[in-house]
Structure formats: C-alpha cells, structure tokens
Amino acid sequence: MVVGDFANEVDTLVIGSGPGGYVAAIRAAQLGQKVTIVEKGEMGGVCLNVGCIPSKALITAGHRYHQAKHSDDMGIVAENVALNFEKVQEWKGSVVKKLTGGVEGLLKGNKVEIVRGEAYFASANSVRVMDEKSAQTYNFKNCIIATGSRPIEIPGFKYSERVINSTGALALKEVPKKLVVIGGGYIGIELTGAYSNMGTEVVVLEGTKQILGGFEKQMAKLVERRLKKNGVDFKMEALAKSVEETENGVKVTAEVKGTEEVFEADYVLVTVGRKPNTDEIGLEQIGVELDERGIIKVDKQCRTSVSNIYAIGDIVPGPPLAHKASYEGKVAAEAIAGEKAEVDYLAIPAVVFSEPELATVGYNEKEAKDAGYDVVAAKFPFAANGRALSLNDADGFMKLITRKDDGLVIGAQIAGPNASDMIAELGLAIETGMTAEDIALTIHAHPTLGEITMEAAEVALGTPIHIVK
C-alpha cells in the first residue's frame, strides 16, 4: 500500500457500470447496502454507449430514410430525399448522452458512490482502483463483477481505420459506398440493415449455411429475403482469410464454398462474436474459477467459486444480452442481502432489430421436442392481421409453442414488425404459467399487432377465426 492510501470500506463493490453493473448497484443500495461502483470508461457501458442504444438509433434513421424513398405504393412520392449523416450521428449522440446522464443521476439518487478508474483484485476482499494519476484501495464485504465483453479480433484482420468492429461501425463519419460484413449474427445483420437502408452496397460473409444461427431457419430466411431485396449480397459457407488495406478502402480475400474470391469495399466490419473482459482484473490472484473461454463459473445466485464475489452479464454463461445482465444484477444484489433469489432463464427473450424484427422466448418447437414435450406449434401470419396490412408491413408470423395435454405456453417465436415489443406478453405468459386458453380469452384491442398473439392462441386451441383451419 502506497503512503497515504488509506483503504475505503464499502459493503458492496460493483465493477462496471453497464446494464448489469448499474442495475446491481442500485438494487444493492435499495436493500440498505453501502455501495461503490467502479467504471473505467463511460457510464452505461458498451450497451448505452457503443451497442444497444446507438445501434437502434442508427437502425431507426436508416429505416426512416428508406421509407421516405420507397413509399410510392402508398401514394407517397418524395423527391430529393437527402441524408445528412453528420446530423444523424449528432442525433444518435444526443440519445446516448441523455441515457448515460440518466444512469449517473439514478446512481447518485440512490446514494451509490461513483469511482472512475480500473479495478484490480488485491485479495478476495479488496481491489486497487487506478487512474492516470493515483491509486486507491477499496475493502469490500461483497463484490459484483460486471465488466462486460469486447469484440473478438480474428487472425489477419487487425482493427484499424478501415478494418472496424461494431464500435467503429457506429462511429463512421460518412455512409460507406461499399461494406463487407464478416459474420451473419445479430450484430452484423442489424448493422447490415441500417447501412443498406442508407444506400450502402453490403456483402455479408457468413461461415455457416444460415445467418442468425440462434433463430429458426424460417425466421432467418425472412430477414435474408428482405435484405436481398435491399441489394445485400450473402456469401454462405465463407471463410474470411485476409485483408489488404488500400488508399481508400480494403480488399478482402475469402474462401467461399472452396473457391477464393476478393471483395473490394470502403470498410470491412468484423462481427464474429465477443470476448469476456475477465483477463486483466486479477481474478487469478484470488482463485475465481473460469472456463477455457474466460467465462466465470457461477451458481444460481451468480456467486463465483469465491463465496463473497459474484459475476453477471457477458462474463458468465449464457447469451450476451443486456436484459440478462440487468436481471442477474438484481439476483446478485438480492442474494448478497440474504434473499432467496435465483436465476431462471426460461422466460428470457432474445431480439434482433432486423427487418422484419425477430424475437423468441422460451422453447422453440425443436427444443421443446428435444426436451421431451409433446407440443402444439400454432402459427398465425401477420398477413391476416389488419394492423400489419395498414402498416404496409405484413411479412412474418407468430408461432406459439404449447403443451399438448394442458395448453401451457412454453415458448414463442415472432418474425414481423414490432416483434421486440410483442414478445413481452409471451414472456409474461410463460413466467406466470398461462395457457393458450388464458391468452385467447384476454380481449386484445383492435386493430393492433397484439391481436396476433390472441389469434395464435386460438390456432393452438383449434378455433382460429381469421385463418381457415
């Protein structure tokens, strides 16, 4: 300990202020704990600053621009539609600023101490927090690690001005004329949609036979078809091998189904996954167990192998979802307070803000059958819904998965407009043990997209009104 470094004493120390960390800190403070949160970057973490929020802002801007140029079939003909990308980026920044400022206000309002700097474990009960000028020791009774993740860098594609990750793609100063996207997962597909709507020629290199591998094939195909209509070129079973940076762009060499091809573009965007930030905080010093990928092993209360240290979010098993991190943050804070909170992931939704949007919760049909359930998979098309038709956006469907013997809702998949909002009702249905009959008997407002949920439940019961059985 350096001279003058008198340790600060806290009940709960939270490392990281993303959607997992700041929620954990607030919940812990609400439960009467003295809480300090440590952040080395911007408040709100990746999600609020360079992930969920700015990407949705960019997606919305691209969608508005595309609609303005392509609404002739509705009798709306716009001439000289212009895209001021500098203004788009300025607006996106204002959205981020409001939210990150809001997070800081919420933490202060709950009497959480905010400390800037990098945390490194000195022992199982203390960390050193360092910035450019000083270092301070914090002793804690319990700690919640919420350090998040960072984009994976693949061999031969070192990040630079022209070889970019999702953070770089969100911070471009101009709309690229041509863009190569490596990886057809949700991040790559969302950014492909945003930029193709703004007029960028996009080539997507996907290593498997299907984009959006975590979703059912029929759902992924809907997105692929819509993007192809927008000029996106998909290369499946493609392995990116190398990149050559030119004066004004890149040349990407890839092996596509055994044949070497070269793709020229302004930028190449690498979106092949994320890596947990567990390698530079001293976990090996204190014996926290990790798996071979650097993921921290935790129990159902988010407790690590060291009993007073908890971990949440992208650094623990499961999908890297912001809402999963927030949920785990509450569980960890409540466990520290002595409550019997445990994680239960059955009703955790996953969403892709593609066109159309995709959303899933609980089991899909294959997963349910693999788990031994005898199920009914009830499907209802958006094309039979009045609101979808009036939105001029009727591609897609809802599939409701219910147990055959009692109609219990155990899963749902939605591909269509506003799927990201609609999935919440199905998550609630699973969480509360509702049946198809419960949903069918719930009066849904007309005309709304929400009616599709009621209609799918009626299909499950064998009594559909707006499609022929």
Domain boundaries, given as residue ranges, for the chain: 8-151+275-336, 163-272, 350-461
Closest CA to 313 of 34, 35, 66, 51: 51
Model confidence, pTM: 0.95
Q: Which residues contact 339 (CB under 8 A, 6 or more apart)?
A: 31
- For residue 422, give Cα distances in angstroms to 408, 448, 453: 19, 11, 8
| CATH H-level superfamily of 350-461 | FAD/NAD-linked reductase, C-terminal dimerisation domain (3.30.390.30)
**Is 158 annotated to bind ligand?**
no
Burial readout 370-397 (b: 16 or more C-beta within 10 A, e: otherwise): eeebebbbbebbbebbebbeeeebbbbb
| Dist. CA 58–CA 92, nearest whole Å | 7
Instruction: Output the pLDDT for position 5.
Output: 65
Closest CA to 129 of 138, 44, 311: 138
Tens-level pLDDT at each residue, the chain (469 residues): 444 468 999 999 999 999 999 999 999 999 999 999 999 999 999 999 999 999 999 999 999 999 999 999 999 999 999 999 999 999 999 999 999 999 999 999 999 999 999 999 999 999 999 998 899 999 999 999 999 999 999 999 999 999 999 999 999 999 999 999 999 999 999 999 999 999 999 999 999 999 999 999 999 999 999 999 999 999 999 999 999 999 899 999 999 999 999 999 999 999 999 999 999 999 999 999 999 999 999 999 999 999 999 999 999 999 999 999 999 999 999 999 999 999 999 899 999 999 999 999 999 999 999 999 999 999 999 999 999 999 999 999 999 999 999 999 999 999 999 999 999 999 999 999 999 999 999 999 999 999 999 999 999 999 999 999 8
**Is 56 annotated to bind ligand?**
yes
Residue 346 has a CB neighbour count (10 Å cut-off) of: 12
| CATH H-level superfamily of 8-151+275-336 | FAD/NAD(P)-binding domain (3.50.50.60)
**Is 183 annotated to bind ligand?**
yes
| Dist. CA 198–CA 230, nearest whole Å | 10
Instruction: Output the pLDDT for position 4.
Output: 47
Would the CATH topology of 8-151+275-336 be identical to that of 350-461? Answer: no
Instruction: Output the pLDDT for position 3.
Output: 43
Is 70 known to be catalytic? Answer: no
Say if strands 35-39 and 113-116 run parallel, antiparallel, or are unpaired: parallel
* Active-site annotation holder among 63, 66, 446, 466: 446
CATH number, span 163-272: 3.50.50.60
**Is 148 annotated to bind ligand?**
yes
**Is 251 annotated to bind ligand?**
no
**Structure tokens given for 220:** 């992924």
Instruction: Look at residue 328 and give its three-state secondary structure.
Output: helix
Instruction: Look at residue 351 and give its three-state secondary structure.
Output: strand
The answer to whether 464 and 403 are in contact (CB under 8 A) is: no
Give phi and psi for 335, each to the nearest 5.
-65, -40
- Please write down the HEC assignment for all residues of 361-395: EECCHHHHHHCCCCEEEEEEEHHHCHHHHHCCCCC
**Is 184 annotated to bind ligand?**
yes
What is the C-alpha R_g of the chain?
Answer: 24
**Is 102 annotated to bind ligand?**
no
The answer to whether 436 and 400 are in contact (CB under 8 A) is: yes
| Dist. CA 462–CA 402, nearest whole Å | 12
User: How many CA atoms does the CB half-sphere of 447 hold within 13 Å?
Assistant: 9
**Is 186 annotated to bind ligand?**
yes
Instruction: Output the pLDDT for position 2.
Output: 45
From its phi and psi, is residue 78 left (phi > 0), alpha (psi between -120 and 50) or beta?
beta
**Is 147 annotated to bind ligand?**
yes
Instruction: Output the pLDDT for position 469.
Output: 82
* Alpha helices (H) in 178-321, listed in sequence order: 186-197, 217-229, 283-286
Say if strands 375-381 and 397-403 run parallel, antiparallel, or are unpaired: antiparallel
